Amino acid sequence: MSRLAKSLVAVCAFVGQAPPSTHGATDMKPIEINMPRPEHGLHYTTPAPTWDEAFPLGNGILGALVWGDGKPLRISLDRTDLWDLRPVPEFHSPEYTYKQMIRWHHEGRTKDLIRVYEAPYSRPEAPTKIPAGRIELTLPGEPAFAEGSLDLIDAKAAVRFQNGAQLQAIVHAGQPVGIVLIRPAGKVSVRLIAPPFGGRGKPGEGSLAKLGYPPPQETRGENWQAFTQKGSQGFHFAVYVAWNSDGGTWQMAWSVASSFEGDEPLVIAKRRVESALKDGFDRMLTGHAEWWKNYWQKSSVRLPNRVIETHEQLWVGDYGGGPQINAALDFRGFQVYVGCGLEQVVRPLPPEPVVDLGQYADPLDAARVRDFYIIHRGLNEPLNFPDFDYEHWIPPRTVSGQYNPIIAQILREKLLRD
């Protein structure tokens, strides 16, 4: 059983008991906020040898797992919307009902049960989570792992080596970008590994090559690496990694963007990474830590047993981190899973309305127009350029030479307000 599963079992066993009666209580006092303490986090004196023992990081969009000993140190990547959503015909057929399943069971029609309810799970053309690759960092010399930790108070992973070098890593709470700092550091070797799509992996059960994707388009420069991957039904995504150094400090940032955000996910991911590196790790950490401080202040649970309380804090931290569980599907041992047909029991939510903000000749203009719309409509969505002065910016016209009607309405409202 995994560490996370043990945590869930322990918490459920405890909280399932009835709470003590408060009948007749008159002196009710506010509960003191029980912020996570250092002992609530994860602490390793030996490196995590596999991804399922890694330090999990995430923000609800982007996920990462930090593991390894520095020869190399690995960061497995994930993003919540990386799915192959090709429909499964059997799941939408009249035979796919619980009533039909029970009837065939009583009639002994095993072949029909396998055909409709089991066989589709062995085919790749079904809804399945796909991985985003992995970053491998090799530190100079012969780095010897000393200790590692995951601090819940600010969702930061840290690794210390016996030569004095220290690594810190976060997935920013408010931006779909991750950033790493190594100090002091010499020349760090970076390797971005794309998942083995396009027939590059070993054939067999669970091989990503079974999905039928083309090979990734990999590019690199002096201080950056990237790849773009095409999926099914027009879906595609991109990963961009870049790094810089200043004296004895080395930092790296990465981002994963998908075609759900725009037609050029590589441009979007690159822009986020460059912005993060410009701000630097320390400034990014400040905003990130403030978000987590506010998160932990929204609720407080105290448990009489220290071990159970530690499990509870880890579980609550997992809710705040979002998709790091998906990042655990590191593609080295990745299996092709399919959907469970829950649409038969859960009524699907209506699709969110698509807001058409127009077509623009410059992708950067399109990204800024989207930010302009988000800010002036008060939406809780990440920005492409969070530091841009949108209050005094006039959006451009679309490729048709006209203002987009939605943007024009916002401009009219601003004019009347100002």
β-strands 236-246, 249-258 pairing: antiparallel
| Cβ 46 vs Cβ 307: under 8 Å | no
Q: Is the pLDDT of residue 382 over 60?
A: yes
Q: Closest by alpha carbon to 199, among 215, 176, 188?
A: 215
Say which residue the tokens 């085919």 belong to: 123
* Domain boundary residue, one of 267, 299, 333: 333
Q: Does 111 share its domain with 144?
A: no
Q: Does 200 share its domain with 134?
A: yes
Q: Does 137 share its domain with 189?
A: yes
Q: Does 392 share its domain with 265?
A: no
* pLDDT tens string 322-365: 544 344 333 333 333 222 222 222 333 445 566 888 888 888 88
Quick one: average pLDDT of 26-36? 63
Name the amino acid, one letter, at 41. G
The whole-angstrom separation of Cα 409 and Cα 415 is 10
Question: What's the pLDDT at 283?
Answer: 95
Question: What's the pLDDT at 317?
Answer: 62
Q: Is the pLDDT of residue 264 over 70?
A: yes
Q: Does 329 share its domain with 360?
A: no
Average pLDDT over the chain, rounded to an integer: 80
Q: Does 390 share its domain with 367?
A: yes
Can you give the pTM of this predicted structure?
0.67
Q: Does 80 share its domain with 95?
A: no
Asked whether residue 340 is domain-assigned, the answer is: no
Based on the structure, what is the number of domains in the chain?
3
Asked whether residue 104 is domain-assigned, the answer is: yes
Structure tokens that stand for 190 in this block = 């970076």
Question: What's the pLDDT at 7?
Answer: 35
Q: Closest by alpha carbon to 256, among 286, 200, 216, 301?
A: 216
| Cβ 193 vs Cβ 135: under 8 Å | yes
Q: Is the pLDDT of residue 115 over 90?
A: yes
Question: What's the pLDDT at 341?
Answer: 28
Asked whether residue 232 is domain-assigned, the answer is: yes
End-to-end CA gap in the chain = 60
**Domain of residue 209, CATH code:** 2.70.98.50
Quick one: average pLDDT of 229-243? 95
Quick one: average pLDDT of 353-381? 83
Lowest mean pLDDT among 8-12, 124-128, 181-185, 274-278: 8-12
The whole-angstrom separation of Cα 331 and Cα 248 is 33
Asked whether residue 386 is domain-assigned, the answer is: yes
Q: Does 236 share its domain with 223?
A: yes
Q: Does 42 share its domain with 99?
A: no
Q: Is the pLDDT of residue 268 over 50?
A: yes
Sign of the alpha-carbon dihedral angle for 287, 171, 185, 150: positive
Q: Is the pLDDT of residue 235 over 80?
A: yes
Name the amino acid, one letter, at 129. K
369, 372, 376, 381: CA torsion to nearest 10: 100
Asked whether residue 323 is domain-assigned, the answer is: yes
Question: What's the pLDDT at 377?
Answer: 80
Q: Closest by alpha carbon to 355, among 370, 372, 336?
A: 370
Asked whether residue 116 is domain-assigned, the answer is: yes
The whole-angstrom separation of Cα 297 and Cα 215 is 46
Q: Does 365 share its domain with 299?
A: no
In the structure, what pLDDT confidence band is assigned to residue 66 with cuts at 50, 70 and 90? very high
* Domain boundary residue, one of 333, 364, 392: 333
Q: Does 116 share its domain with 241?
A: no
The whole-angstrom separation of Cα 139 and Cα 149 is 18
| Cβ 317 vs Cβ 324: under 8 Å | no
Say which residue the tokens 């405890």 belong to: 14
Q: Is the pLDDT of residue 20 over 50?
A: no
If one compares 338 and 5, the residue with the highest pLDDT of the two is 5
Question: What's the pLDDT at 307?
Answer: 66
* pLDDT tens string 272-292: 999 999 999 999 999 999 999
Say which residue the tokens 């981190």 belong to: 321
Domain that holds residue 359: 353-417
Question: What's the pLDDT at 19?
Answer: 38
If one compares 169 and 388, the residue with the highest pLDDT of the two is 169
In the structure, what pLDDT confidence band is assigned to residue 1 with cuts at 50, 70 and 90? very low
Q: In this prediction, what percent of the chain has a pLDDT beyond 90?
A: 44
Q: Is the pLDDT of residue 67 over 70?
A: yes
Helix-helix angle 363-376:265-279, to 10 degrees: 70
Q: Does 394 share its domain with 253?
A: no
Q: Is the pLDDT of residue 260 over 80?
A: yes
| Cβ 155 vs Cβ 210: under 8 Å | no
Structure tokens that stand for 333 in this block = 């041992």
Structure tokens that stand for 259 in this block = 């075609």
Asked whether residue 339 is domain-assigned, the answer is: no
Question: What's the pLDDT at 143?
Answer: 86
Asked whether residue 16 is domain-assigned, the answer is: no
Quick one: average pLDDT of 20-25? 43
Q: Is the pLDDT of residue 205 over 60?
A: no
Q: What is the 3-state secondary structure (H, E, C) of the chain?
A: CCHHHHHHHHHHHHHCCCCCCCCCCCCCCCCCCCCCCHHHCEEECCCCCCHHHCEEEECCCEEEEEEECCCCEEEEEEECCCEECCCCHHHHCCCCCHHHHHHHHHHCCHHHHHHHHHHHHHCCCCCEECCCCEEEEECCCCCCEEEEEEECCCCEEEEEECCCCEEEEEECCCCCCEEEEEECCCCCEEEEECCCCCCCCCCCCCCHHHHCCCCCEEEECCCEEEEEEECCCCCEEEEEEEEEEECCEEEEEEEEEECCCCCCHHHHHHHHHHHHHHHCHHHHHHHHHHHHHHHHCCCCCCCCCHHHHHHHHHHHHHHHHCCHHHHCCCHHHCCCCCCCCHHHCCCCCCCCCCCCCCCCCCHHHHHHHHHHHHHHCCCCCCCCCCCCCCCCCCCCCCCCCCCCHHHHHHHHHHHHHC
